[in-house]
Amino acid sequence: MRYVDWAFIDIKHMDLEKHREKTGVTNELTLNNIAALVASSWPGRLIIRMPIIENFNDMDANIIATAAFLNQTGLREINILPFHRLGDSKWAQLGLKYPYGEYPGTSGEKLEHIKSLFQERGIACYAGSDTPF
């Protein structure tokens, strides 16, 4: 990490089993790595990202749990990413059905609601490409 100025790490869900349900693994390693990086003497900037997926991680309880984790580790910003189906064509090229092809894109209203939940908890929240980085 001494050669890295910026790191982006995704948190997809705070619940271990929900995370495993969609990714095949729990989030323990990711959360531990985030905490370890924050606790280290690394001088770079760590940006947490969260792809927002309807009916998976967009519920208030998960957003509040994510904000609590960020506050616990001392992180004060997150970049939420609206869901899109751009991966559909890549899966099709492989002859596979995209498992998220039926999910709708994230509405601006939903992003604003999630953003407000983070901001109410002292976390700067940037939606999509509207970021200072």
pLDDT in tens, 10-35: 999 999 999 999 889 999 999 999 99
Q: How many domains would you assign to the chain?
A: 1
pLDDT in tens, 29-74: 999 999 999 999 899 999 999 999 988 999 999 999 999 999 999 9
**49 domain-assigned:** yes
Q: Is 93 a domain residue?
A: yes
Sheet holding 77-82, edge to edge: 6-10, 45-52, 77-82, 124-127
Model pLDDT for residues 65-113, shown as the tens digit of each residue: 999 999 999 999 999 999 887 778 888 899 998 887 877 789 999 999 9
Determine, yes or no, domain membership for 76: yes
Residue 118, pLDDT > 90, answer: yes
Specify if 1 maps to a domain. no
